[in-house]
Amino acid sequence: MSDGADAGRRALVDELAALVGLAHTALGGVTAVLMEPDDGEDGIAIAEKALGELLARVEEDAAATPGGRAGVVVGVHVGCELEALAQLTRRLLEAAWARQERGAFDERLRDPLHGLAGAALDLVARSADVLRSGVAEDVADVLSELHEVGQRQRLLYGLLLRADSSEDAREKAADPVDVTDLVLLACCYQQCADRAGAIARHAVLFAQAGA
């Protein structure tokens, strides 16, 4: 690989990793709001700023992708995943705004949601590291953790679906609106994790192409 091609590859890797970092920042901000709606103004501001910068830079980068043909292939695919992450983050932001009036979820349901969100956030952050390393073993580690995200999602759904005929259980049943919100949020976080896994797969493709 020539010095010029290598420089182009590194520039693309650094830019894509930085964009994934913006997605992670936006998700982290909105997650803080969803977990603690009463203290959410800062989180919303952080999320909106990072999201705006992410979308602007994705559009700018689409016009000129360095790194040769492999750079085009990976740049386009990762760009699509980043746009999907941005859309999911926007949905989460809308949910966070709506939750401002309803307040926090019940603790017994908020904890598994928080665990699911944290696992998804970790995968997004790690996908940026994989972009930089391009190591197949790192990709395998990211993909293996998708299973943990699924387990956390099933744990939350198990709590929502658990039926008990006792009067005490009926009194503690989650509000229908909260249940709907929790399922929608869980779906968004699970899809964020999937997008992170796809980014990791494209990263190793780029590295193997030797662009």
Provide the H-helix boundaries in the chain: 3-35, 41-62, 68-102, 107-133, 136-161, 167-171, 176-209
Enter the tokens of residue 101.
């009036």
pLDDT in tens, the chain (211 residues): 556 566 777 788 888 899 999 999 999 999 999 988 776 668 889 999 999 999 998 877 665 655 567 667 777 888 899 999 999 999 999 998 888 888 888 888 899 999 999 999 999 999 999 888 877 788 888 888 899 999 999 999 998 887 554 444 554 556 888 899 999 999 999 999 999 999 988 877 766 655 4
Phi, psi dihedral angles at 210 (to 5 degrees)? 65, 35
CA distance 59 to 86: 12
Check residue 13 and give its pLDDT.
82
Report field, pTM of the whole predicted structure over 0.85: yes
Check residue 166 and give its pLDDT.
44
Check residue 50 and give its pLDDT.
95
Check residue 5 and give its pLDDT.
60
Contacts of 156 (CB under 8 A, 6+ apart): 109, 112, 113, 116, 182, 186
Enter the tokens of residue 47.
């999320």
